[in-house]
Amino acid sequence: MVKLFTCTTFDIMGDLTFGEPLGLLDTSEYSPWVEALFGFLKFGDLSRILLEYPLLGCLAAYLVPASLLEQARMHFQFAAERVDRRIERGSERPDIWNLVLRQPEGERLDRGEMHANASIFMLAGTETSATLLSGLLYLLCEHPDKMKTLCDEIRGNFHSDGDFTIESLQRLKYLSACIEEGLRLYPPLPIGPPREVHPDGNIICGKWVPGKTRLAVAQYTAYRSPRNFRDPDAFIPERWLPGTGYDDDKKNALQPFSYGPRNCIGQNLAYHEMRMILAKVLWNFDIELCPESAGWMNQKIWSLWAKPPLITLKPRASGPEVCFAAGHSGPLDQPRCANCTDWDYGSLNLSSRAQPFIFATGSGGKIGRTSLSKSTPQHDYYESFTLDLIPASSSRFVNTPRDFTVNSGAAISGAVASDHDSGLIMDALVMGLALRLLMPLGVFLLHVLETVRCHGWDQAIATLLVIVELGTGIYTSRGYNKAGENRAQAFGLLVA
């Protein structure tokens, strides 16, 4: 997931900055540019430390490993080439360079400034967000109760992840609280960017600081200080919600995007990006830590955290086993869904999409059929749900079930209703009555009473009942599957 988060943020920033994604999600592998960026981070840290010492600063070019110098050069070159290609190609889509090029001549950035800014955009807008998402997901996995609360909020406010918008996700209070708490416990930049004091000196936080002194806020330390936060080492998203006992926390101490007129210009984009990515992941997947994630937060720091592998994903669990049309004639098979646990055959195809459907469960909460040679009985209860349906694939079954149905006769919107086979009984009674009118009564009217008019009315009523029976049969067969259902016809003949 660490790698996937990085690939995602790089593709997003590539699209915004250069008008085209970088294609990392297509392969889920780091490109040479990403590898170069990691080297650029290390190069920047080492250079900054060496430049603090005048004698060593002169030797910086010789003390920094040549491989890091090359990666720093490659990072800048990749950014410059993408900018040049974007400017030459042009674009009708709004992106960063549309805004830059709108400026009048003489006020806009020159090409060299564009190159420099692009290299910063691709650093500041990618790995920082991916770092926060990785750390926050780890914290949520370590606190299942918080994970459940967040998943319930996300999954309970939308019909599908296609409904996610910037505005709708902003309204999810617990999601925002989790992001703030993640930024507090796992700030992407553990030590903030340095600032230099005015040459005349200044009073900062009540202390006199001489001129030209370089200062930075140790964010990791400040955010875990008991002077600023109660229970500072605990993951408590509720502290960011009113009335939860943490109103006295100094919440303005949290400044992960720096402070003042030179703070991060992309913080709104970062918040939107983090909300959207996290909501998408938690909508579609259940999360669990992989074995190597023990002690995951014990990491080295190169400006940003050096993150090891984090977690594994499994398809979202959303309910008991389901019953839906298998797409082939004959009896219905029980296919596999995202949360099926007792299916004897087959494997999972993880390329699923959320689809609305109505599922049926027996008294034990499971459908006990896996054979194509036996029909699935109608079940006791129906509910309306949205679930990730995953087609089953198996060497045992030739036909792979891929369809879903809606039970027109069941309750909707999640309300549970008992069925009692009423549709089948109605179908049988109508069929039996139609046969009575068509055969015995028709013969009696025509041959005993010798009344042609009454016989005509009998034929008309019987024909109408046959049409009603046909509609009832179709209605019943759509009840919980599209497979053939013979019990209505058999019972109707018995009544006749």
For residue 335, give Cα distances in angstroms to 201, 285, 315, 404.
Answer: 73, 20, 15, 10
Binding-site residue numbers for heme are: 264
User: What's domain 143-284's superfamily in CATH?
Assistant: Cytochrome P450 (1.10.630.10)
SS3 content of the chain, % helix, strand, coil (to 5): 50, 10, 40
Contact 228, 187 (CB under 8 A): no
What residue numbers does the annotated binding site cover? Answer: 264
B/e letters for 124-138, b = 16+ CB within 10 Å, e = fewer, are bbbbbbbbbbbbbbb
187 phi, psi to nearest 5 deg:
-65, 130
Residue of 493, 434, 428, 436 lying closest to 464 (CA atoms)? 434
Residue 29 near residue 5, CB atoms below 8 Å: no
pTM over 0.75: no
pLDDT tens string, the chain, 496 residues long: the values are 888 888 888 888 888 888 777 888 887 777 777 777 777 676 677 677 766 777 666 666 666 677 777 777 788 888 888 888 888 887 777 778 788 888 887 778 888 888 888 888 887 888 889 999 999 999 999 999 999 999 999 988 988 888 899 999 999 999 999 999 999 999 988 887 788 899 999 998 889 999 999 888 889 999 999 999 999 999 999 999 999 999 999 999 999 998 888 888 889 999 999 999 999 999 988 887 877 777 888 877 766 676 766 666 565 544 333 333 333 222 233 333 334 333 333 333 323 333 333 333 333 333 333 333 333 333 333 333 333 333 333 333 333 333 332 222 222 222 333 334 455 566 666 666 666 666 666 666 666 676 767 767 777 877 777 777 666 665 554 444 333 345 555 555 555 5
- Cβ neighbours for 46, distance < 8 A, ≥ 6 positions apart: 60, 63, 64, 68
3-state secondary structure of 448: helix
